Structure 1
Amino acid sequence: MIVKHLDDIIGTAADVDTEGWTSRRLIYKQDGMGYSVNDTIIKAGAELEMEYRNHLETVYCIDGEGEITDLATGLTHPIRPGTLYALDAHDRHILRANKGVNMRMVCVFNPPLTGREVHDAGGAYVLAD
């Protein structure tokens, strides 16, 4: 059984902070679950263009508001607590957090992250060996 608490992750190597987001890696590849789970903060006013070419991701918003734009279709969807979106086709997208408020998301990746990934120039994570 694996039991962790967010307080035990903050400030460790599993707490990855960038200009636009902070991701607390709760479950990752070395845990052997076949997926990873992150508690992620999208910082207020952030606009992030991403395309997970190597991963599928499901995201569930638990706090804050923003929007996601599917760059293939041009459709923009509002995000607020209770919204779930799944990038089931390695969808290139722009994620925006409203100004003045962070968005807090629970993110699940398959295959799992190793724990220290940051986006490459194309907005993706490199696939772990």
Structure 2
Amino acid sequence: MIVRTLREIIGTERDVQAETGTWASRRMLLKKDGMGFSFHETTIYKGTETLIWYKNHLEAVYCVGGRGELEVLETGEVFPIENGTMYALNGHEKHHLRAFEEMRLVCVFNPPLTGEEVHDSEGVYPVLE
């Protein structure tokens, strides 16, 4: 059994801050935990916009606080994101995520992240072994 608290993760190697200053990701479960997925609590900071394209991963996200929007670049569709909203990037959609308020998101990735990934210039996480 694995039991972790957010308090024990903050300030460790599992507490990943974006180089752009737009988000922080607390990685509760990683590939090395052997669950077949990774599980994160992510904060998207108010007034920021992040380009994201998980072309190598599937991601499901559940908003538990704050307000923003997701814009799908291929279609121009815009979806409001607020407490109680779930979205799943089952088509590897390239998108902008904008935070009108600080947003708190719970995220699941498949394949699982190792914890070393950073977004490249296209918003992509590489698949790391």
Q: What is the TM-score of this pair, normalised by structure 2?
A: 0.96
2:87 maps to which of 62, 85, 88: 85
What does residue range 1-129 of structure 1 map to in structure 2 within 5 Å? Answer: 1-18=1-18, 19-98=21-100, 101-129=101-129
SS in 2 for 1:79: strand
SS in 2 for 1:85: strand
Contact 2:117/2:128 (CA < 8 Å) preserved in 1?
Answer: no
Q: Tell me, in whole angstroms, the C-alpha distance in 2 between the residues paired with 1:113 and 1:94.
A: 21
Q: Tell me, in whole angstroms, the C-alpha distance in 2 between the residues paired with 1:121 and 1:72.
A: 17
**Dislocated runs of 4+, deviation >2 Å:** none
Stretches of structure 1 lacking an aligned partner (at least 5 in a row): none
CA shift for structure 1 position 122:
1.0
Q: Tell me, in whole angstroms, the C-alpha distance in 1 between the residues paired with 2:121 and 2:77.
A: 23
Percent sequence identity over aligned pairs:
54
CA shift for structure 1 position 55:
0.3
SS in 1 for 2:64: strand
Q: What is the TM-score of this pair, normalised by structure 1?
A: 0.96
CA shift for structure 1 position 49:
1.1
Q: Render the CA deviation track for 1:14-59: whole Å, top value 9, x for unaligned.
A: 0001211000000000000000000000011110111101100000
What letter corresponds to residue 52 of structure 1 in structure 2?
Y
Contact 1:119/1:125 (CA < 8 Å) preserved in 2?
Answer: yes
What letter corresponds to residue 2 of structure 2 in structure 1?
I
Contact 2:70/2:81 (CA < 8 Å) preserved in 1?
Answer: yes
What letter corresponds to residue 95 of structure 1 in structure 2?
L
Stretches of structure 2 lacking an aligned partner (at least 5 in a row): none
